């Protein structure tokens, strides 16, 4: 990675934006509160599907269950994408988060040569430590519902800069697992190219693609594990993560039978 790892938006536009492709606009801002909030506002104002918004510094980034997420300027990737999956049953939209996680895992494997895997639904891990978080939000607009998917990837953070000991970055993982540390531009381009291919498959099958589900399961380190799913209201359930259903939900085999969860924090309880 170059010493001054500036994101090259012109290169991204050249590589990603083309007639008939998914990505129609790629924008970069130096600083903002939340790329998800900004892109949701654009969606309400009629913003086009396939818009990508990237920032060098996000001061009010959000994760699941209202958690905050921040990183020093220039140390990571914070971006959001705007999608309008017209004609697809909204129950299938849960797959958008999973597709984003799969795109990041596959992109990191390709561009950084690191053994990235998924923890359901969309955390990207390397050697059990979290590299990337994803937050998808439905937005109601005058043109119908849209979805904004936010992606945050730790790139050059060192151990003392990480928000929690269970996190990691591309820089740390590259040192520990004989990977390479690519530029942020290369990571963004590779991840978005991977997402475009996955989204195209998902859209072509109206959100119901068994082969895509198999691709996700092949990258998912949760399936087959003893897990605890932590739910809202301090509730939790333990069991074996058995499979992913057609809507991208996690099916848990418990002592009292099977249970299905569309949201929740998963804790892996065995290696």
Work out the burial of residue 87: count CB atoms within 10 Å of its CB; fewer than 13 is exposed, 13-18 middle, 19 or more buried.
Answer: exposed
Tell me if 4 is assigned to some domain: no
- What mean pLDDT comes out for the span 133-161? 94
* 72 and 180 both lie in a single domain: yes
- Per-residue pLDDT of 58-76, as tens digits, reads 987 665 555 566 678 899 9
Backbone φ and ψ for 146, nearest 5 degrees, come out as -130, 170
pLDDT tens digits, one per residue of 196-243: 999 999 999 888 888 899 999 999 999 999 999 998 777 899 999 999
Query: Looking at 217, 234, 259, which one is the last position of a domain?
Result: 217
Helix (H, G, I), strand (E, B) or coil at 13: helix
Structure tokens that stand for 236 in this block: 């939790």
Answer whether residue 52 is part of any domain: yes
Burial of 159 per CB tally in 10 Å (0-12, 13-18, 19+): exposed
Instruction: Examine the domain organization and report whether 93 and 56 are in the same domain.
Output: yes
User: Facing residues of 56 across strands?
Assistant: none
**pLDDT confidence of residue 163:** 78
Give the structural domain span for 133: 9-217
Same-domain check for residues 168 and 236: no
* Residue range 93-117: mean pLDDT, rounded: 97
Residue 222 DSSP symbol: S
Tell me the average pLDDT across 78-86. Answer: 96
pTM exceeds 0.85, yes or no: yes
The dihedral region occupied by 170, where left means phi > 0, alpha psi between -120 and 50, and beta the remainder, is: alpha
Q: Are residues 199 and 264 in the same domain?
A: no
Q: Residues 256, 171: one domain?
A: no
Q: Are 177 and 231 contained in the same domain?
A: no
Cα 64 to Cα 134, 140, 263: the distances in Å are 8, 19, 9
pLDDT (tens digit per residue) in 20-61: 999 999 999 999 999 999 999 999 999 999 999 999 999 876
Q: Please tell me what DSSP assigns to residue 181.
A: -
State the CATH number of the domain containing residue 149.
Answer: 3.30.930.10
**Averaged pLDDT score across all residues of the chain:** 92
Q: Could you give phi then psi for residue 204, rounded to 5 degrees?
A: -65, -30
237 within 8 A of 228, measured Cβ to Cβ: yes
89 and 112 inside one domain: yes
């Amino acid at each position: 990675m170059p010493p001054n790892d500036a994101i090259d938006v012109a290169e991204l536009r050249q590589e990603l934006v083309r007639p008939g492709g998914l990505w129609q606009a790629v924008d970069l801002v130096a600083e903002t509160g939340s790329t998800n909030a900004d892109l949701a506002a654009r969606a309400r104002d009629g913003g086009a599907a396939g818009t990508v918004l990237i920032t060098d510094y996000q001061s009010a980034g959000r994760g699941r269950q209202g958690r905050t997420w921040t990183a020093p300027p220039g140390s990571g990737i914070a971006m959001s994408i705007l999608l309008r999956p017209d004609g697809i049953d909204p129950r299938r939209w849960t797959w958008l988060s999973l597709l984003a996680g799969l795109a990041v895992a596959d992109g990191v494997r390709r561009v950084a040569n690191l053994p990235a895997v998924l923890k359901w639904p969309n955390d990207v891990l390397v050697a059990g430590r979290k590299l990337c978080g994803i937050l998808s939000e439905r937005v109601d607009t005058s043109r119908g519902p849209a979805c904004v998917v936010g992606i945050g990837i730790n790139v050059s953070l060192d151990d003392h800069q990480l928000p929690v000991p269970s996190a990691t970055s591309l820089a740390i993982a590259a040192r520990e697992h004989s990977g390479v540390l690519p530029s942020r531009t290369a990571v963004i381009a590779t991840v978005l190219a991977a997402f475009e291919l996955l989204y195209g498959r998902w859209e072509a099958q109206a959100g119901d693609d068994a082969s895509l589900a198999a691709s996700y399961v092949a990258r998912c380190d949760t399936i087959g594990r003893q897990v605890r799913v932590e739910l809202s209201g301090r509730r939790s359930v333990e069991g074996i993560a058995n499979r992913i259903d057609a809507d991208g939900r996690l099916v848990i085999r418990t002592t009292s039978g099977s249970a299905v969860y569309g949201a929740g924090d998963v804790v892996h309880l065995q290696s």
